[in-house]
């Protein structure tokens, strides 16, 4: 009760501050007034650029919200175990990661083992999700959707991923060279029947950065619909569209995931499918029905709804790092070139959140996320990115070649936060240049405009990206 009163008082305050938000002075940690172009997410902008930059609460997270944020943060990071401890247990019997934070280290993108150990590795924890399906899109009865390459003691992992790359070296018109890696996947050590490679489709995803999760959940869907209608630039071959999916029995717009295949922050799915922790939305173990589980006791619900709501609150309330070096001449030049190369037609610099903000699973309202001007550098729409990136995997309306424009906010801090510069849905790009040079299909014009720039101009674009 106390909590609700507190919230409504705050929203009154917010309403009055909101009207004059543009004149509201937001102070940086240093005490200086923030410049408008530094504010990535309005009042949720945080002013840190260290390895913890993605993992800070927004400034409005106080009192009881802060307590729940801290609880959610711990539930997100603490390694789960296979025992039946109600707080930390319930993992497995098979799983892909032992905590959310194992794959999303510091609320970021844990370095995948693809390039270092060539796939899952024997003992390594890989941090990626491997989706397997028949060529016709159906799932394998004994395996389900995700290949769980880890397991608790006494149980076999479902299989291991191995990857090899073919490398092709190319050159820009000005002679500078770059090279692109095409991945080839194989599953080894199937726990049960081997699946014929002719009938197997494998698609690999590295984790996404958790920058702007609350803002993504508070997006103004009318604005997105308008963008989908208008984001049609035949002269550049660009036309984005929204993904629609059925979740919790409702046909709705998808925003999260690499194919915008989810409508929420996938808390229950993450616990169930990625970690093997059952919950009220997914009460069955992911390996339920597998031959090796016959006769094994199933433990019922392994994480409470209350705990998952705290994780949801934690993700919604993370601040978005401010833009850095906004006055640097090269960064400014790079920003201009970003527009000239038409990157902004998909990586939309500015969007707005709906007035009421976000509402959590249990009804907790987060009005601070409402009516904000935000700079995600994404339209959250699907685009055909060409055959090179086609994974033959359909998610809702998204076809194999279609991907959600990855939001670029925070991208410049990925190396500091996670210690690597692997990009794209499957981490095949080893740096920003390779990520851009993989753009094809609707991204072809942009790629060519970028390729035709001088070396200095390309470097300026990268410097601009690194200021996000
Ligand atoms: C095994 C590693 C792994 C674990 C464990 C994991 N994730 Fe993820 N997460 C991923 C990958 C990979 C993706 C990208 C999936 C895709 O697009 O298909 C992702 C995507 C997401 C997204 C979408 C972000 C966006 O920008 O749209 C959210 C939210 C998320 N995870 C939350 C969680 C939460 C909460 C947990 C814990 C309950 C969790 N994840 C556990 C690997 C993991
Ligand atoms: C047609 C829409 C479109 C255009 C135009 C476009 N992009 Fe993208 N961009 C995407 C999509 C979709 C992805 C995700 C592809 C994937 O993961 O396979 C992406 C991914 C990226 C990534 C990797 C992000 C990450 O964290 O993995 C970078 C960097 C990037 N784009 C930069 C640019 C730049 C710079 C330009 C202009 C030269 C540009 N893009 C033009 C749609 C576009």
Task: Output the six-digit token pair for 88.
Answer: 């930390």
Q: Rounded to the nearest 5°, which phi and psi values hold at 195?
A: -105, 135
What pLDDT digit, counting tens, does each position of 81-138 carry? Answer: 888 887 888 888 899 999 999 999 999 999 999 999 999 877 778 899 999 999 998 9
- This prediction's pTM: 0.94
In the reported structure, the alpha carbon of residue 58 is separated from the centroid of ligand 1 by a whole-number distance in angstroms of 21
Q: Is the pLDDT of residue 212 over 80?
A: yes
Task: Output the six-digit token pair for 127.
Answer: 């941090």
Task: Output the six-digit token pair for 462.
Answer: 């990268």
In the reported structure, the alpha carbon of residue 251 is separated from the centroid of ligand 2 by a whole-number distance in angstroms of 27
What pLDDT does residue 181 have? Answer: 98
Please check whether residue 124 lies inside any domain of the structure: no
What pLDDT digit, counting tens, does each position of 40-86 carry? Answer: 999 999 999 999 999 999 999 999 999 999 999 999 999 998 888 87
Please check whether residue 198 lies inside any domain of the structure: no
Please check whether residue 6 lies inside any domain of the structure: yes
Please check whether residue 140 lies inside any domain of the structure: no
In angstroms, the CA 37 to CA 190 distance is 51
In angstroms, the CA 167 to CA 274 distance is 31
Secondary structure (3-state) at 102: helix
Secondary structure (3-state) at 365: strand
Please check whether residue 408 lies inside any domain of the structure: yes
What pLDDT digit, counting tens, does each position of 312-337 carry? Answer: 999 999 999 999 999 999 999 999 99
In the reported structure, the alpha carbon of residue 387 is separated from the centroid of ligand 1 by a whole-number distance in angstroms of 25
In the reported structure, the alpha carbon of residue 348 is separated from the centroid of ligand 1 by a whole-number distance in angstroms of 23
> Would the CA dihedral through 454, 460, 463, 464 be positive or negative?
negative
Please check whether residue 92 lies inside any domain of the structure: yes
What pLDDT digit, counting tens, does each position of 6-41 carry? Answer: 333 333 333 333 433 444 688 888 888 999 999 999
Total domain count for the chain?
A: 1
What pLDDT does residue 194 have? Answer: 75
Indicate which residue's Cα is closest to atom 29 of ligand 1: 265
Indicate which residue's Cα is closest to atom 34 of ligand 2: 343
The partner residues of 201 in beta bridges, in order of sequence, read 133
Mutate which of 443, 453, 466 for ligand 2? The one with the most ligand atoms within 8 Å of its CB, which is 443
Structure-model confidence comparison of residues 406 and 232, the more confident one = 406
Q: Look at the block and give the residue holding tokens 């984001």.
A: 231
Long-range interactions of 14-23: CB distance < 8 A, separation 24+:
14/367, 14/368, 14/370, 18/370, 18/371, 21/371, 21/372
Q: Ramachandran region of residue 126, left (φ > 0), alpha (ψ -120 to 50) or beta?
A: alpha
Could you tell me if 275 and 96 are in contact, meaning their C-beta atoms sit under 8 angstroms apart? yes
Structural domain containing residue 289: 2-108+206-465
Closest by Cα among 358, 319, 68 to 212: 319
Please check whether residue 294 lies inside any domain of the structure: yes
What pLDDT does residue 87 have? Answer: 81
Please report which helix (H) or strand (E) contains residue 431, including its range: none
Please check whether residue 376 lies inside any domain of the structure: yes
């Amino acid at each position: 009760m106390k909590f609700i009163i507190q919230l409504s008082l705050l929203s009154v305050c917010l309403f009055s501050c909101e009207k004059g938000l543009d004149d509201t002075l937001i102070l940086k940690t240093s005490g200086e007034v923030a410049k408008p172009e530094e504010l990535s997410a309005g009042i949720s902008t945080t002013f840190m650029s260290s390895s913890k930059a993605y993992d800070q609460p927004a400034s409005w997270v106080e009192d009881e919200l802060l307590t729940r944020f801290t609880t959610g943060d711990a539930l997100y990071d603490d390694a789960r175990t296979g025992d039946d401890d109600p707080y930390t247990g319930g993992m497995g019997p098979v799983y892909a990661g032992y905590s959310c934070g194992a794959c999303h280290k510091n609320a970021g993108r844990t370095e995948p083992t693809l390039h270092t150990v060539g796939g899952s590795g024997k003992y390594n924890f890989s941090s990626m999700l491997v989706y397997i399906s028949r060529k016709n899109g159906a799932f394998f009865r004994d395996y389900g959707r995700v290949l769980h390459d880890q397991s608790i003691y006494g149980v076999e992992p479902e299989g291991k991923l191995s990857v090899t790359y073919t490398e092709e070296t190319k050159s820009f018109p000005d002679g500078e060279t770059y090279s692109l890696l095409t991945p080839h996947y194989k599953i080894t050590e199937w726990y049960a029947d081997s699946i014929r490679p002719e009938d197997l489709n494998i698609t690999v995803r590295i984790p996404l950065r958790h920058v702007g999760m609350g803002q993504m959940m508070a997006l103004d869907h009318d604005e997105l619909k308008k963008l989908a209608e208008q984001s049609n630039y035949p002269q550049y071959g660009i036309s984005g569209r929204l993904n629609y999916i059925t979740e919790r029995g409702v046909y709705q717009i998808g925003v999260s995931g690499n194919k915008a295949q989810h409508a929420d922050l996938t808390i229950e799915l993450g616990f169930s499918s990625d970690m093997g922790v059952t919950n009220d939305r997914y009460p069955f173990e992911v390996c339920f029905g597998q031959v090796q589980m016959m006769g094994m006791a199933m433990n019922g619900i392994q994480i409470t709804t209350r705990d998952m709501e705290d994780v949801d609150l934690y993700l919604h309330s993370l601040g978005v790092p401010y833009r850095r070096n906004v006055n640097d001449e090269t960064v400014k030049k790079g920003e201009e070139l970003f527009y000239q190369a038409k990157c902004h037609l998909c990586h939309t610099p500015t969007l707005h959140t709906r007035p009421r903000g976000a509402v959590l699973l249990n009804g907790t309202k987060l009005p601070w996320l409402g009516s904000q001007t935000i700079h995600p550098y994404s339209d959250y729409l699907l685009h055909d990115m060409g055959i090179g990136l086609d994974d033959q995997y359909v998610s809702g309306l998204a076809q194999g070649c279609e991907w959600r424009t990855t939001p670029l906010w925070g991208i410049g801090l990925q190396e500091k936060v996670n210690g690597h510069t692997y990009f794209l849905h499957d981490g095949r790009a080893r740096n920003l240049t390779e990520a851009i040079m993989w753009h094809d299909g609707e991204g072809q014009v942009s790629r060519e405009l970028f390729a035709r720039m001088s070396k200095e101009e390309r470097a300026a674009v990268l410097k601009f990206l690194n200021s996000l």
